[in-house]
Structure 1
Amino acid sequence: MPAFEYEALDAAGKRNRGFLTADSEIAARRELRRRQLSPLKVARAASDALRKAGGRTASKALSKRELMLVTRQLASLIDAGMPVEEAVGLVAGQVDSQAMRRVLTDLRSRVMEGERLSDAMAA
């Protein structure tokens, strides 16, 4: 199922950004409305488009050092008892790399949709 990047407003008018998987852009917009969000922008995620084209995904473009640091941060937070989706969101908000932020945002979305962390990381 393709991944979509979105920008939407919640009921309070706060701007939200993230990723979700859906069969089509129309289905993605429908899902956002179901979550009580007003979609402003919905587009196929860049990493998904690159994967379909046979290009490098964002996760392959990340350095091993960057992956190691983020993995250690996540492990520490989760071991301390923080829920997985909160830990991923916290780390995503702290990284400098736009590519890593996108990977973590996608990971968090997948976990929030019910995927196991290991499955979401393998995607």
Structure 2
Amino acid sequence: MDSSLENLTIGAFARAAGVNVETIRFYQRKKLLTEPVKPYGSIRRYGRAEVTRVRFIKSVQRLGFSLDEIGELLVLDDGAGCREARLQAEQKLADVRARCADLKRIETVLVGLVAECVATSDPVRCPLIASLERS
């Protein structure tokens, strides 16, 4: 077992998790990560479980989940909440698909506007700007 992920200071913990120290503190304030007890006259120490948790948070963030949604997923992590976790993932998938459809519509409009700009020879009035003003 890799003992390099045990008994970490907050700086070493942040490096191991691939974040900065302020991210660790922010997650603690948001209750996504617990703050270990500080032994009298010593410093707080972190381990593998905390590193894994922060990596999970970052991974789920990349999938588009908000910190509040991640907090809900973390509560469901005991295995009993699999159905609820699936429902959250299905909702996130629907949101992503809706955003993709919106982006596709935006792309179509922009392609047309750019084509109008390329096709015009009017040095006075830009068709893209004129079209946007009409919208």
More helix, by proportion: 2
The structure with higher relative contact order (CA 8 Å, sep 6+) is 1
More strand, by proportion: 1
Q: With structure 2 as the length reference, what TM-score do the two structures score?
A: 0.23
Q: With structure 1 as the length reference, what TM-score do the two structures score?
A: 0.25
